Chain A
């Protein structure tokens, strides 16, 4: 790996960390707008100078270690702001949504399996955490269980999703998302519309609800969740990245771009679509379980159709299939409406208009996915 690549990556990580910090901390409207404008200007300049594409391919080509820049940046922000409960909660929320979007990227970005029920699988993870939390099972196991249950329930949809294509498949997942929420509301065994309380996570006997205390250093308990989410996010990020770069990723690409061509060349289209769907749901379920533990409370209204849309907005705004774009887009989508509280009633309208404009004028997202460079990969 070239040294220039490494320095570029570091520079990008540093700028990203700084902007994230500013956007998270900014209380003043002008500071928020300033940081957003700076980010927008940066992305436009990058696109104009073609640096965007270069950057994307640099990040794409670089080794797995570069992905560790993300936890590095996250830890720096986390510790720099260790007393700011709200900011840390937003950061953790961004990471959790980012994690769910890693799952959606595997499904839709890689294998082209559309999923409009992201929030439903997120919710399945959350409800699993709520139910298992009562039995005193170790938290890390619960998180994994959340992913597994989400993947298992997702299997019900395999047959319909496999048999349908395009908009027909979209309807299947839309219908599942709607019926999932409707079911939770009318069925009382899972708390009904009032929802369930969820036990907070604890790692190695230390409850994450107690903030870290080391001498004069007193951190908010949300820092614990930031670190937890950061850890899981990084692991899934690296695994997804390796998946993309491996021969499995090539199969996914073939299945997405031309299923008929792929099957002619002996790629088992159905198999890879199932794989992507199940793995994706597993990751979304993980995210849901962590989310439920952090919030300590979940209700059906957390998992509506519009929440699924928010997740999809993140991956499409960022750039479909580009893992590196997830975090900047998640910051935009999760933090911005919160920061726009002052414009109160108008913020959903403003958000909708912004998403429409981005989709209209940058249809491949803010940070488009880099093209796969086959020769080099084969050489590796």
Chain B
């Protein structure tokens, strides 16, 4: 650590010296995420956050390079993702990438990055196989995986006494992945999944599924999917009089969930791979700066991770210069690296595990469970 600090200091001095002596060299970093289509809210939030990281770095006189973000749209489609990934990887002026929100795209592109040796840091996709399914040294991930969420969610919900589960999941890799890991995890507890329903990602009406669930009478309905579907299911539960506790995964935890549902959102519980941005020292800075930067769209929950991914890459470039292999090696060795999402450490599969945080929707906001009126006993979840 000490040597690293020395190097960093030396680099800083050098940086100041060169910066004042000449104009800085421009280093390009790619950002890839869904910027059109149904998941574009998350993609645009991620792009803005990565852009924020770049702007803050460029405003810092100590930085040795002038950074430029190259944003690309993968439309959340694997074939488009492969095209964009190839385009970015074969552009030699791009040093590294902050890549992918959709797991299906991220898993499709890992081989492309490996083939062209572009180091990337995943900022939003949580399928474990993206980092654990290969030995590609180029792929890193800062936002944890669904295993972290499933672990936290299962012990939390069973701890509250919910033993009879129904899982509703979307039939994409995201929902199916959750279903699989939930099944594995629940088998180790005394709870049981009495039924599970696969629903397609563009389905509108859930009356048939929900009435079936009404007949089953479980203690809790756990939804594994993204916000638009999560909103529809919750509001239709209300309409059909399905009065059962509702829980989600990080996919539903966005500002638009509580906005779109209003009072109906009250009491929905969820888990997310990251403590509330506001509660971290760096997180407060992130929220402030994001507000100041004047973006019209919100950062969305995974925004801070895009910020962290971009920062990690820029830190590595500051250390060893804009060289893909050196940047990759530095990223591989990341250990206790300070960031707005807490210290980042990559394991042997370049994966940063996080402790998921539990949340509950309370008065139109997502509140950390421990800070909520539910934990303190002033309000009660259904069936408690």
Contacts and interface: CB of A to CB of B under 8 A. Distances in A.
Interface residues of A, number: 29
A347 B36 contact: yes
Contact of A86 (B71, B78, B86, B107): B86
B72 interface: yes
A186 B79 contact: no
Contacts of B104: 193-195, 299, 301
A258 B105 CA distance: 46
B108 A297 contact: yes
B40 to A, nearest CB: 7
A185 B200 contact: yes
A190 to B, nearest CB: 13
Contacts of A304: 77
A295 interface: yes
Contacts of B171: 185-186, 192-193
A85 interface: yes
Given A85-B90, A93-B83, A186-B198, A193 B172 contact: yes
A296 interface: yes
Interface string A273-298: 00000000000000000000001111
A89 B111 CA distance: 15
A302 B35 CA distance: 18
A193 B105 CA distance: 11
A224 B73 CA distance: 27
B78 A348 contact: no
B339 interface: no
Contact of A85 (B73, B84, B86, B173): B86
Given A85-B86, A86-B90, A195 B36 contact: no
A341 interface: yes
Interface string B195-212: 000101000000000000
A377 interface: no
A347 B73 contact: yes
Contacts, number: 80
Nearest to B172: A193
Interface in B172-228: 172-173, 176, 198, 200
B78 A297 contact: yes
Interface in A328-343: 338, 341
Chain B residues touching A, majority SS: helix
Contact of B176 (A193, A298, A348): A193
A89 B172 contact: no
B200 A341 contact: no
A182 interface: yes
Contacts of B200: 182, 185-186
B173 A194 contact: yes
B379 interface: no
A344 interface: yes
A186 B108 CA distance: 19
Contacts of A185: 171-172, 200
Nearest to A194: B173
Contacts of A295: 79, 82
Contact of B82 (A182, A186, A297, A345): A297
B91 interface: yes
Interface in A159-206: 182, 185-186, 188, 192-195, 197
Given A84-B90, A185-B171, A345-B44, A89 B36 contact: no
A341 B72 contact: yes
Contacts of B40: 345
Nearest to A338: B83
A85 B79 contact: no
A194 B108 CA distance: 9
A81 to B, nearest CB: 12
B99 to A, nearest CB: 15
A195 B83 CA distance: 17
A301 B198 CA distance: 17
A344 B69 CA distance: 13
Interface string B147-187: 00000000000000000000000011100100000000000
A194 B107 contact: yes
B87 interface: yes
Contact of A195 (B35, B37, B78, B111): B78
Contacts of B76: 301
Nearest to A346: B36
Contact of A345 (B73, B111, B172): B73
A345 to B, nearest CB: 5
7 contacts: A86-B87, A192-B171, A299-B104, A299-B108, A338-B83, A341-B87, A344-B35
Given A192-B176, A295-B79, A296-B111, 14 more contacts: A185-B172, A185-B200, A193-B104, A194-B176, A295-B82, A297-B82, A299-B104, A299-B108, A301-B78, A302-B77, A304-B77, A341-B87, A345-B44, A347-B36
Interface of A: 84-86, 89-90, 93, 182, 185-186, 188, 192-195, 197, 295-299, 301-302, 304, 338, 341, 344-345, 347-348
Nearest 4 A-B pairs (CB), nearest first?
A: A85-B90, A194-B173, A302-B79, A299-B78
